[in-house]
Amino acid sequence: AQKVTQAQTEISVVEKEDVTLDCVYETRDTTYYLFWYKQPPSGELVFLIRRNSFDEQNEISGRYSWNFQKSTSSFNFTITASQVVDSAVYFCALMNRDDKIIFGKGTRLHILP
């Protein structure tokens, strides 16, 4: 079965704190892709990152970083020094060979000023 679990439904942190959004996935395929998307209040999903199953190197992009660990089937997302503009719903997603993306239910992140 293919599944993406984002156990944190909602998180609130004070601005400038670091925050980690968890993502656990299930798949039987050896080749797959993982994604993170941001959905601000406007509703449009914004692509943040793609990772393929053969590349476990962690990635950093500005204040964003991603930790991919195949041993625990996790692909966690950390925002460092959070800002109010980071407030959004964040989705983790999985794609197998059939080209269909399965989304988690999302984590709503509130950054409090």
Partner 1 sequence: DGGITQSPKYLFRKEGQNVTLSCEQNLNHDAMYWYRQDPGQGLRLIYYSQIVNDFQKGDIAEGYSVSREKKESFPLTVTSAQKNPTAFYLCASSGPQRSSYEQYFGPGTRLTVT
Among 44, 61, 62, 85, interactor with partner 1 by CB under 8 A: 44
Cβ distance to partner 1 smaller for residue 68 or 104:
104
The region, left, alpha or beta by phi > 0 then psi within -120 to 50, assigned to residue 62 is left
- 16's tokens: 């400038």
Q: Which residues contact 113 (CB under 8 A, 6 or more apart)?
A: 15, 84
Cβ of residue 45: shortest distance to partner 1, in angstroms? Answer: 4
Among 17, 26, 30, 46, interactor with partner 1 by CB under 8 A: 46
- Rounded-to-integer distance, Cα 72 and Cα 45, Å: 27
50-109 binders of partner 1 (CB under 8 A): 50, 91, 95, 99-101, 103-106
Tell me which stretch binds partner 1 (CB under 8 A): 13-21, 45-53, 61-69, 79-87.
45-53
CA 18 vs. chain centroid, Å, equals: 15
Cβ distance to partner 1 smaller for residue 16 or 50:
50
Q: Which residues contact 33 (CB under 8 A, 6 or more apart)?
A: 50, 51, 52, 53, 94, 95
Site size for partner 1 (CB under 8 A): 21
Which positions lie near partner 1, rule CB under 8 A?
A: 4, 9, 33, 35, 37, 42-47, 50, 91, 95, 99-101, 103-106
